[in-house]
Structure 1
């Protein structure tokens, strides 16, 4: 049995149009019965690019020809390790627990010191008591918007 070569190719697209381009490519694959395309990836952290797993660069060129919002293919290959980094699940925010002192790193409270009142791990949120406020102020923000400053 012959094993087919599968490589990953990056295609430059208009920023914000990645999903639309992927859907148009899928439609073209279905209508033209193109069998050498194995997957189309729209990596969440990579704006302006769509990754195509195909049998060769000629297949990608044929596939993207005339598709709206496609700016062209990027020369060379994307390594499988890079693909795995893009699609693997990231570890959620910093390791914090109730009572820790933290610094807010984003949003309207950026730069302020706070103490963690509650940590909702399933939702990825922390309830903070802002220490620099003139009155008791509790806010709920995503855990990735805080960084530990001192342990209490």
Structure 2
């Protein structure tokens, strides 16, 4: 029977820009020494200078990161799980379009052209547009972040 896993999140300070390298070196040390007390290594995007380890205690974090190049120390205290979720969850703050809305393409080969929304694929974050400035009916699929609503 496996015991229930108890873990906390600990932040390791590293040289800015070296987060991925440090994470890979820590991973290698964990595999080499067969350490089972570290459950995950998180390199949060948009957060420079920190690698977050999910481990059973600070002694384990010190064990796996001590002596590794570019490790600058340990942040005091624990990192809250809510903060981790904010780092790693993907949130899209794209304007909500409806079928029939008038938009302008902001990049790509159709940049600057007016179009009408035909279909929205929210799973892929894409919209199918009917280009209005074309001399023949032309439907194109573009990422949703490459269109903006036309001011009326």
TM value normalised by structure 1: 0.66
SS at structure 2 position matched to 1:12: strand
Bigger mean CA deviation after superposition, 117-126 or 26-35? 117-126
Q: Distance in 1 between matches of 2:23 and 2:29?
A: 10
TM value normalised by structure 2: 0.66
Q: Distance in 2 between matches of 1:101 and 1:31?
A: 58
SS at structure 2 position matched to 1:11: strand
**Offset of 1:4 from its aligned partner?**
5.2
Aligned to 2:100: 99
Q: Distance in 2 between matches of 1:73 and 1:107?
A: 43
Q: Distance in 2 between matches of 1:13 and 1:127?
A: 44
| Unaligned 5+ runs, structure 2 | none
Distance 1:103 1:73, change over 3 A: farther
Q: Distance in 2 between matches of 1:13 and 1:128?
A: 46
Aligned to 1:87: 88
Measured on the aligned residues, the alpha-carbon RMSD in Å equals 3.8
Q: Distance in 1 between matches of 2:90 and 2:59?
A: 32
- Is contact 1:14–1:48 with CA below 8 Å preserved after alignment? yes
Aligned to 1:10: 11
Q: Give the alignment of 1:1-152 within 5 angstroms.
A: 5-91=6-92, 93-102=94-103, 114-119=114-119, 121=121, 122-126=123-127, 142-148=143-149
| Unaligned 5+ runs, structure 1 | none
Distance 1:30 1:82, change over 3 A: same
Residues matched between the structures, number: 145
- Is contact 1:101–1:113 with CA below 8 Å preserved after alignment? no
**Offset of 1:130 from its aligned partner?**
9.1
